[in-house]
Chains A and B, each alone.
Chain A
């Protein structure tokens, strides 16, 4: 019945048909199909990746092709306090935000996996922060964090009377860092929750029923059934989260621009600062380069998780 959609092949003479036969010759077809994607990715992804690594060892500035300077950029960065501060904050930011996102996201996923009226609507609402442009929600956050008109301060000081002065969210280093982490967790919960919810829904309810009949407590069922079965997807979500939190840019750029006194620069925002407005492309590339070991670790983690999942499920990959 599906065949009805395939038009009848009229007998065509072989001369007019050489094009058809060319397209049925598999190596050519594979080549043609892969060409657009490979062209785009090689030109704008692979080549710049290599170019970026090369640039890290040059003194390229805007409008001036660099020459090889060896490790000079890195030698400079090793003595640069602001760079180390950015590395330090990137690690703190990634660790705290990832743990927060995963914990809260897992909790939310478990809640949404319960029998619930309007579950589809809840799921739709939950994903909203992830759909909306990050910069725009970040601007909303900087308004929420405003020193004079913060709604949180208003609630705590004027309504609840829990404090006697307004919060200074973004004015000093640690509060600013924590405020950014909070905004990042807010933005990250939906992705984690919805991905893990999809994982939870593949766990057969009969496992839980059997465990209940055997007298397992809720915690035991979570620890010995849910968690092990969720582990592969949890590992992938974790590595995604690590990579994209570590390389976050928008949130910091929109809310603090790295301030106060460079305390909230991430490696990505510092690289931008030095490279684009500052003009030192080589130095910026070196800062960006320093992110690569971290990203490779996270990627390897994700790949191992993926391989392990294949092995577990006994899937053969064709």
Chain B
């Protein structure tokens, strides 16, 4: 599959270099440079950070962990990390459970109007948080959840459930109906079919949806900014921007160290399970 039309194209190596490798190298460089810059800034001592004349800015002369030290011991960074982790995990579990049930009903139980439910879910995915956060803030306030992590855990499913349901419908539909039908004929209940046949066979979909939801919750910003006020309850993304910047003073070293650490959990998951992310992304667009 990989060496297909090239067999009939007779491309010269020079042509390949100019039209394939050079542009590709540019893309990779541009896409990765901000991360390189983030990492190198995080490990630079302040003396080097603000002196491009004496030190080459692309390298580090004497790497230091000062910025990380300050972050961990002089701010409540670890607390922010824990909050973010707890919120992301709880929101993911909540969304995954409700989405798996809903997707199974839509894909398999063949009820009247399931098409319209699927469409409504799809439309839900297209409602951006930017038009919801204002009314949601009053809802959250009236429910007494303002400034608590529960607000985020309950609100994140608004974008996670449509997404997860949408990709899980695809996975459930790919399971042969015969498997379920023969189980039903053998006397299994619907719930047993769901538990012992549909869920195990849709496991890759559940993993994709779960990883994706974790990432989306980890990265969420608008709701966390609007609904959380106390410093120690903030999520990493919001806290770095609002707590580490005092007035016009930007501590770039600490900011970059915080950004690097805050990106690490999702980056590690991503590194371990790249294929699940890609399949979740592409099935979301393709279905």
Contacts and interface: CB of A to CB of B under 8 A. Distances in A.
A305 to B, nearest CB: 11
A20 B134 contact: no
Interface of A: 2-3, 5-7, 9, 20, 23-24, 26-27, 29-30, 32-41, 43-45, 47-49, 51-52, 55, 60, 104, 107-108, 111-112, 114-116, 119-120, 122-129, 131-137, 139-144, 146, 149, 151, 154, 158, 186, 189-191, 194-195, 198-199, 205, 208-209, 212-213, 233, 236-237, 240, 243-244, 246-250, 253-254, 267-268, 271-272, 275-276, 281, 284-285, 288-289, 291-292, 295, 298-299, 302, 317-318
14 contacts: A44-B157, A114-B6, A115-B2, A128-B32, A128-B270, A132-B219, A133-B236, A136-B38, A136-B240, A137-B38, A195-B285, A247-B130, A268-B222, A276-B137
A87 to B, nearest CB: 14
A204 B53 CA distance: 55
Nearest to A137: B34
Interface of B: 1-6, 8-9, 20, 23-24, 27-28, 30-32, 34-35, 37-38, 41, 49-50, 52, 57, 94-95, 97-99, 101-102, 104-105, 109-111, 115, 117, 121, 123-124, 126-139, 154-155, 157-158, 161-162, 165, 179, 182-183, 186-193, 196-197, 200, 215, 218-219, 221-222, 225-226, 236-238, 240-241, 250, 252, 255-256, 258-259, 262-263, 266-267, 270-271, 274, 277-278, 281-282, 285-286
B111 A27 contact: yes
Given A194-B282, A276-B137, A126 B23 contact: no
Interface majority SS (helix, strand, loop, mixed), chain B: helix
A271 B134 contact: yes
A33 B109 contact: yes
B31 A288 contact: no
B138 A281 contact: yes
Contact of A34 (B101, B126, B133): B101
A129 B188 contact: no
A236 B282 CA distance: 11
Contacts of A289: 131
Contacts of B94: 40
Give the 6 A-B residue pairs with the shortest CB-CB distance, closest first. A36-B98, A247-B128, A33-B105, A205-B4, A268-B130, A198-B282
Contacts of B154: 40, 44
Contacts of B281: 127, 191, 194-195, 198
A299 B123 contact: yes
Contacts of A140: 34-35, 37-38, 256, 259
A133 B237 contact: yes
A33 B250 CA distance: 50
B158 A291 contact: no
Most-contacted residue by chain B among A137, A143, A288 (CB, 10 A): A143
B104 A33 contact: yes
B84 to A, nearest CB: 10
Contacts of A233: 285-286
B20 A5 contact: no
Nearest to B179: A2
A44 B225 CA distance: 17
Given A7-B192, A128-B267, A135 B128 contact: no
Nearest to A288: B131
B23 A36 contact: no
Given A29-B105, A33-B101, A285-B134, A129 B127 contact: no
A62 to B, nearest CB: 8
Contact of A9 (B41, B133, B187, B193): B187
Nearest to A244: B128
A208 to B, nearest CB: 4
B186 A189 contact: no
A272 B226 contact: yes
